[in-house]
């Protein structure tokens, strides 16, 4: 992906495909050892998984590309990365450390490095004169910089620091955890090695402990670091490596949102009567603001401030927040607040009245209201915004340990009291606690009474029709996901259920198709797949209700962020959660949501219990993880799709762009009434020149992956008539695009070069 923007590199994870199958998500390689040919030289091939796990390759290549370095590695934790730098030194070597820095590095110095005979001097953070005074020619091996510094957000002039370090043949090692790429790239400013606690912003989901190291050049010092990882065994597990890569694919979106909120919060705090100093490099008042503007492309999502008064006053504020979680660490989707003096434990230089904020993906106004209530002692009744609910997963924490990420419950059965057998759990077919948080969040987003997860979107669809009996009548729109058509013709009609197909979006035709007192279910899909036709849900459900039937709306394309069918009187909503809800092309799942509790909904719950089409606990946990970035993913996909639709509208190789956001669309008016926040990330184009031209264009895509499905972080393209087969009603000149979260210029560039084949 040479020349691609950072957004694209992240979204597509360099565009690598799983080598065995071509999957757009990598496999998890769990083997600890590998079969070898006895004739193979010991320096070649895979040997043992401590240094050789293939899971490392993609994420390390991506990190090296992001940092503009020659190589990178992942380690078992941020502390492991720091320790390896000291482990690569020798007795008598000298290291310069900053006065303000992550508390853990001070423990490392005092508990280990000093015992190894490594000499340490401490300079005032950001004071280059002090740094220059303390370096020792011929003895100083490492000058350590943390920028922005923890917790006072001092920005260090990296080019000047590099000159000082290199002047005595020392390495400049930078901890850039607070400012991940692309916000800051220390290697571009002369640093030799850059470290991250990947636990924080790089992973971004508060569920992996890991570290990273990247180097400007693969020199002898890098080789020593590489050997230290193998010899000291500070490895990252394959599953954690896989999760880290998954988290990296939304790094650009997460940082964009978190930084914007951090700026608003810092400006609010700066004017608050109960706040003294505010430490945020995006404020003009910050001592290193001008340097931050030169050295960084953003100011990060970390903010510190001094509460007016004593330590006791700060502790009251610390304990008074409700949305900001009182927890250590940083960089996750949920916002955190810490009293660092308490957390550091050692003789910390942090003022006792100072609090540190890690700003997440919640609604900025919610976060400001929460801080104001804690500072003033006046509680707020402000209802939480949707972005806050999504980022925090409704704010749930684990019952036992108060973890901000709930555990994966793997048990298949539960020990219970005989007096209350089965309550709340008896058997895990459909009583797994891992389901509860994602089901509650989806129900809340849709404005429904309750949600139920299924093993796939088609399992959710099937459950609706499994509730019917022979002789029942259903009406289904004629343009929709092709597998539902196959289910009706090959399965449901065989149960003796009569199916009537109605023209999509035609309300009068719908009125003629339903039979008062006879029709049980009317199935709607909007926008329709793949023509993007939009049905007026409120008008359609009024017709359905008048006939005494129940309406089900497939809301997969729109998501509850853009359309809420239950608020338009639909009875049920279905999603293939494989798509936007999960959003990472690595979970197959479905969900049904009910507007109110009814006997039919009771029957659906019973069907799931009896037929066993349930989602695995790990998949439910991953779905919940994916939904924490739903707001920012859908917003970017909508913006990208609109830009593409406008670019292709009138393109010489395109006969028609099918996208409800275009004012020329036949359905634009109803779409504008029914959808809010965007028109979705899906669009179709009809290629001038017919099927042959469409096939030629389809084959030329490079950035858009030629793959089925939709709604992931990576953009996909399909020739739907080929995918659906000879009975498909889809025009053979149509290509369907699932627009991801890459940089728009890269996407348009790929479309333009592909369309040259038309």
Active site residues: 429, 481, 554, 579
Is the N-terminal amide bond of 151 cis, ω within 30° of 0?
yes
Q: Are 467 and 594 in contact (CB under 8 A)?
A: no
Is the N-terminal amide bond of 691 cis, ω within 30° of 0?
no
Q: Are 110 and 122 in contact (CB under 8 A)?
A: no
Which pairs from 45-51 meet CB under 8 Å and 24+ separation? 49/238, 50/230, 50/233, 50/235, 51/229, 51/230, 51/235
Q: Is 33 helix (H, G, I), strand (E, B) or coil?
A: strand
**Tokens at 207, concatenated:** 């569920």
> How far is it, in rounded angstroms, from Cα 685 to Cα 737?
8
Nearest to 169 by CA among 94, 225, 278: 94
Please report which helix (H) or strand (E) contains residue 523, including its range. Answer: strand 519-525
Of the chain, the end-to-end C-alpha distance in Å amounts to 24
Q: Is 656 helix (H, G, I), strand (E, B) or coil?
A: strand
In degrees and rounded to multiples of 5, residue 674 shows phi and psi of -95, -25
Q: Are 213 and 174 in contact (CB under 8 A)?
A: no
Q: Are 578 and 454 in contact (CB under 8 A)?
A: no
Q: Are 754 and 701 in contact (CB under 8 A)?
A: yes
Please report the DSSP string for 661-695 in residue order: TSTTSTTHHHHHHH--S-S-SEEEEEETTHHHHHH
Nearest to 722 by CA among 697, 745, 702, 744: 697
> How far is it, in rounded angstroms, from Cα 154 to Cα 742?
32
Q: Where are the beta strands (DSSP E) in 159-247?
A: 171-175, 193-196, 211-215
Cα angle 627, 323, 153 (rounded to 5 degrees) comes to 95
Q: Where are the beta strands (DSSP E) in 127-242?
A: 140-146, 171-175, 193-196, 211-215
Nearest to 332 by CA among 240, 404, 385: 404
Measured CA to CA in angstroms, residue 307 lies from 90, 171, 311, 354 at distances of 43, 38, 8, 6
Which ranges of 467-523 does DSSP label H, i.e. alpha helix?
Answer: 482-490, 507-513
Strands 590-594 and 654-658: unpaired
Sign of dihedral through CA atoms 38, 44, 50, 55?
negative
**Tokens at 539, concatenated:** 């008008």
How many other CB atoms are there within 10 angstroms of residue 748's CB atom?
Answer: 16
């Amino acid at each position: 992906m040479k020349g691609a923007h950072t957004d694209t590199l992240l979204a597509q994870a360099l565009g690598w495909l799983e080598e065995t199958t071509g999957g757009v998500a990598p496999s998890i390689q769990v083997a600890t050892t590998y079969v070898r040919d006895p004739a193979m030289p010991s320096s070649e091939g895979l040997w043992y998984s401590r240094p050789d796990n293939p899971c490392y390759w993609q994420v390390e290549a991506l990190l090296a590309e992001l940092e503009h370095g020659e190589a990178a590695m992942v380690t078992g934790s941020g502390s492991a990365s720091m320790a390896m730098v000291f482990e690569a030194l020798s007795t008598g070597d000298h290291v310069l450390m900053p006065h303000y820095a992550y508390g853990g590095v001070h423990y490392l110095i005092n508990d280990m490095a000093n015992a190894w005979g490594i000499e340490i001097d401490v300079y005032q953070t950001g004071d280059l004169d002090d740094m220059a005074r303390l370096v020792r020619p011929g003895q100083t091996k490492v000058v350590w910089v943390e920028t922005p510094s923890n917790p006072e957000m001092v920005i260090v002039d990296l080019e000047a620091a590099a000159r000082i370090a290199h002047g005595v043949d020392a390495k400049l090692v930078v901890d850039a955890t607070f400012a991940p790429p692309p916000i800051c790239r220390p290697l571009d400013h002369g640093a030799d090695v850059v470290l991250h606690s990947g636990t924080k912003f790089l992973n971004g989901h508060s569920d992996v402990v890991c570290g990273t190291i990247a180097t400007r050049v693969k020199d002898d010092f890098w080789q020593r670091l590489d050997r230290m990882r193998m010899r000291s065994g500070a490895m990252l597990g394959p599953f954690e490596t896989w999760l880290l890569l998954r988290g990296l694919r939304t790094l650009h979106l997460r940082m964009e949102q978190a930084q914007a909120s951090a700026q608003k919060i810092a400006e609010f705090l700066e004017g608050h009567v109960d706040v003294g100093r505010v430490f945020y490099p995006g404020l003009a008042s910050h001592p290193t603001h001008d340097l931050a503007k030169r050295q960084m492309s953003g100011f990060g999502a970390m903010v510190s401030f001094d509460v007016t008064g004593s330590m006791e006053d700060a502790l009251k504020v610390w304990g008074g927040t409700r949305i900001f979680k009182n927890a250590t660490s940083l960089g996750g989707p949920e916002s955190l607040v810490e009293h660092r003096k308490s957390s550091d434990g050692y003789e910390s230089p942090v003022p006792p009245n100072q609090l540190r904020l890690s700003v997440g993906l919640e609604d900025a106004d919610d976060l400001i209201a929460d801080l104001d209530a804690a500072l003033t002692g006046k509680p707020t009744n402000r209802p939480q915004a949707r972005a806050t609910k999504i980022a925090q997963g409704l704010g749930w924490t684990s019952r036992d340990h108060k973890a901000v990420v709930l555990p994966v419950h793997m048990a298949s059965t539960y020990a219970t009291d005989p007096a209350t057998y089965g309550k709340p759990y008896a058997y895990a077919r459909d009583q797994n606690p891992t389901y509860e948080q994602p089901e509650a969040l989806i129900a809340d987003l849709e404005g429904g009474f309750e949600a139920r997860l299924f093993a796939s979107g088609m399992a959710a669809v099937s459950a609706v029709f499994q509730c019917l009996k022979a002789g029942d009548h259903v009406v289904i729109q004629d343009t929709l996901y092709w597998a539902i058509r196959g289910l009706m013709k090959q399965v449901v009609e065989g149960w003796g259920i009569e199916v009537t197909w109605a023209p999509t979006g035609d309300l009068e035709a719908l009125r003629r198709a339903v039979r008062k007192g006879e029709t049980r279910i009317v199935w709607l899909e909007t926008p329709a797949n793949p023509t993007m036709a939009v049905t007026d849900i409120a008008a359609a459900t009024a017709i359905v209700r008048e006939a005494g039937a129940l309406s089900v709306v497939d809301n997969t394309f729109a998501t509850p962020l853009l359309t809420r069918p239950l608020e338009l009187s639909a009875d049920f909503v279905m999603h293939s959660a494989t798509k936007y809800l999960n959003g990472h092309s690595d979970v197959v799942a479905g969900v049904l949501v009910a507007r109110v509790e009814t006997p039919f909904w009771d029957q659906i719950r019973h069907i799931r219990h009896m037929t066993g089409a349930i989602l695995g606990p790990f998949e439910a946990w991953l779905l919940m993880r994916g939904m924490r970035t739903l707001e920012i993913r859908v917003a970017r996909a909508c913006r990208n799709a609109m830009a593409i639709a406008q670019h292709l509208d009138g393109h010489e190789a395109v006969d028609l762009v099918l996208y409800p956001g275009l004012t020329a669309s036949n359905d634009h008016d109803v779409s504008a009434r029914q959808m809010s926040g965007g028109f979705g990330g899906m669009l179709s184009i009809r290629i001038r020149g017919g099927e042959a031209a469409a096939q030629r264009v389809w084959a030329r895509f490079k950035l858009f992956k030629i793959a089925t499905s939709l709604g992931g972080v990576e953009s996909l393209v399909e020739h739907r008539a080929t995918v659906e087969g000879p009975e498909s009603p889809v025009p053979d000149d149509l290509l369907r695009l699932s627009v991801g979260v890459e940089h728009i210029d890269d996407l348009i560039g790929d479309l333009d070069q592909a369309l040259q084949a038309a």
